[in-house]
Amino acid sequence: MGCCVLVWASMLVCWFAVGYEFWFGLHCWITLGFDVWAMMYEISAKEIPKLAAEAATKAIQEWGQPRSCITHLIFSTMSDTGIARGDNHLPQMLGLNPNNERVVILQQDCFTGGTTLRLAKCLAESRKGARVLVAIFVDGASALIVGVNPNETIGERASFVIASASQVILPNSSHAITGHLSEGGIKATIHKDIPNIISNNIGKCLEEAFTPLGISNWNSIFWVLHPGGRAILDQLEERVGLKPEKLMISRHVLAEYGNMVGVCVYFVLDEMRKRSIEEGKTTTREGLEWGVLFGFGPGLTIETIILHSYRSLHTHVSSLLLLLLFLSQENDKNVDAVIRVRVLATAMRWKTRMLDHEDGPLVPEKILIAVKSYWVATGNNSTL
C-alpha cells in the first residue's frame, strides 16, 4: 500500500468576485429575455481557468519544484461545461508539459474534495516519481500537489499522508439531494433529513476505516469534515461523541466562507496545517498522528480519506529501527499477522523487509524489519 504526500496552497475566490454588477443585473436580463445561460457560460469559461491557475501557481511555488516534474493534472469544477475546458487551458497557462495526463471531474458537488484526493492517490502510486496537480474551482478555488515518497534532499516536504481512501453510497438516500441543469443554472433540492442520514451512517464508515489501525476513540484523531451546514456538524458531533474542539476548524471555514461545495475540505486542511505551525505542534494537526477527512454529496455519497499527519519541519533527520519477531509452532496465523503488520507499516511510510529463518522459508519463524526516517523536533519549527 502506497502513501501519498500533499503540499498545497489554498485560496478563496468567491464567484461574486467576477463582478457584482453582472449578478446584480442578472434578474433584469432574465426579465428582458436575454440568453442568460450563454452569458454565464461566456464569463465562466473565461474566468474559471484564471482562478484555478492562480491557486495552482501558489501551490507550485510552495512545493518549490520545477513545473516540468508534474506528470498528471486533475481539474474539477461545477461551472465549466464547455468542450475545451479548464484542463485544456491550465497546462498552457501554467507552463506544464503538454503530455501531462489529464482527468476532468464535473458536477460532483460537495464530495469532490474527497474524490480528487482518492483519484490523485491512485495516479501518484501508478508511476514512480509521479506528481499530481489537483485544481478545484467551485465557490472557491484551491490547488494541491500529490506524490509518493517526497524527496527531502531537494526540499520536498509533506503536509499529510493519504493512508487509505474509500467511497460509499448510503442506502435509501437517493432522494436527499437532487438537481438538474436549467436555463438559470443548476436547480438543486436539499432534503431536511440529510444531517440525520449522515450522522446515522458515519459510525460504520469510521469503524471500517480505522479498525485495521486499532483505533476506536474518535477523539484521538483529527477531523477534516465537509462543513455542509451547521446541522450536519451538530448532529455528527453529538452522534459520534466528539469534543467541541474537534470540529472547530470546519465550523470556522463555514462561518468565514459558507458552504463552498467540494473545495471546503481543502480550506479546512489548509487552515489546520497553518494553525499547527503557528501553535508549534509536532505534527500537522494537534500533535495527533491519525485523522479522517469526510466529504458528503449527492447519492448520498460519503468519501472517507484516512490521513496520517506529517511531522512539522525541523532541522535534522533521525531513523527508527523496529524488529518484530513472531514465532509459530503449529500454524501460519502468526506469519499472516506479520504480513498484516508489514502492510500497515508500509502504509505509514516505513521501509520494510521480511527475513526468513536460517533453515529456510518453510520454517514459520519470521523477522520483520521496518525503518522510518522522520523529522526530529527542535525548539524552532516555524514553517512546514
Could you give the CA distance from residue 205 to residue 111 in angstroms, rounded to a whole number? Answer: 15
Beta bridge partners of 207: none
Buried b (16+ CB within 10 A) or exposed e, 265-295: bbbbbbbbbebbbeeebbbbbbebbbbbbbb
* pLDDT of 161: 86
* pLDDT of 36: 59
Domain co-membership, 291 together with 320:
no
Domain co-membership, 339 together with 228:
no
Q: Is 110 annotated in the active site? A: yes
| Domain boundary, last residue among 294, 309, 324 | 309
Helix, coil or strand: residue 100? coil
Residue 283 DSSP code: B
Q: pLDDT 10s digit of each residue in the chain, 384 long?
A: 344 444 444 444 444 334 434 434 444 444 444 555 666 666 666 777 788 888 888 888 888 899 999 999 998 887 666 666 667 788 888 899 888 888 888 877 777 888 999 999 999 988 888 999 998 887 778 888 998 888 878 878 788 888 889 999 988 888 877 777 666 566 777 778 889 999 999 999 999 999 988 999 999 999 999 988 899 999 999 999 999 999 999 999 999 888 888 888 888 988 888 887 777 776 666 678 899 999 988 878 999 999 987 764 333 333 333 434 333 334 455 556 667 777 777 766 677 777 776 666 666 676 777 776 544 333 332 222
Is 93 within a domain?
A: yes
* pLDDT of 61: 87
Domain co-membership, 322 together with 232:
no
Domain co-membership, 66 together with 202:
yes
> Minimal CA–CA distance to 145: which of 8, 12, 273, 10?
8
Strands 365-376 and 316-327: antiparallel
Q: What is the DSSP string of 289-341?
A: SEEEEEEEETTTEEEEEEEEEPBPP-SEEEEEEEEEEEE-SS-SHHHHHHHHH
Query: Are 368 and 354 within 8 A, CB to CB?
Result: yes
Q: Residue 261: which CATH number?
A: 3.40.47.10
Domain co-membership, 212 together with 357:
no
Domain co-membership, 359 together with 272:
no
Could you give the CA distance from residue 9 to residue 140 in angstroms, rounded to a whole number? Answer: 13
Is 384 within a domain?
A: no
Domain co-membership, 84 together with 173:
yes
Which residues make Cβ contacts (< 8 Å) with residue 290, sequence separation at least 6?
Answer: 163, 210, 213, 215, 220, 221, 222, 306, 307, 308, 309
Is 221 within a domain?
A: yes
| Domain boundary, last residue among 252, 277, 309 | 309
Domain co-membership, 78 together with 188:
yes
Sign of the four-CA dihedral 186, 135, 116, 110:
negative
What nine digits make up the cell of 149? Answer: 515518497
Catalytic position from the list 110, 122, 205, 264: 110
Is 383 within a domain?
A: no
Q: Is 228 exposed, middle or buried (0-12, 13-18, 19+ CB in 10 A)?
A: buried
- Domain with 345, as residue range(s), is 316-376
Question: What are the angstrom distances between the C-alpha of 70 and each of 94, 126, 157, 187, 276?
Answer: 11, 14, 15, 36, 28
| Domain boundary, last residue among 286, 309, 332 | 309
Is 19 within a domain?
A: yes
Is 381 within a domain?
A: no
* pLDDT of 319: 37
What nine digits make up the cell of 119? Answer: 483519484
> Minimal CA–CA distance to 311: which of 348, 361, 263, 354?
348
Is 28 within a domain?
A: yes
Sign of the four-CA dihedral 203, 205, 208, 212:
negative
Number of H helices, E strands in the chain: 10, 14
Domain co-membership, 139 together with 284:
yes
* pLDDT of 157: 79
Domain co-membership, 324 together with 197:
no
Starting at the edge strand found earlier in the chain, the sheet holding 131-137 runs 101-106, 72-77, 131-137, 141-148, 4-11, 160-169, 301-309, 290-297, 222-225
Is 382 within a domain?
A: no
Domain tally for the chain?
2
Report angle CA 158, 162, 167 to the nearest 5 degrees. Answer: 150
Domain co-membership, 106 together with 252:
yes
Domain co-membership, 229 together with 361:
no
> Minimal CA–CA distance to 284: which of 308, 253, 248?
308
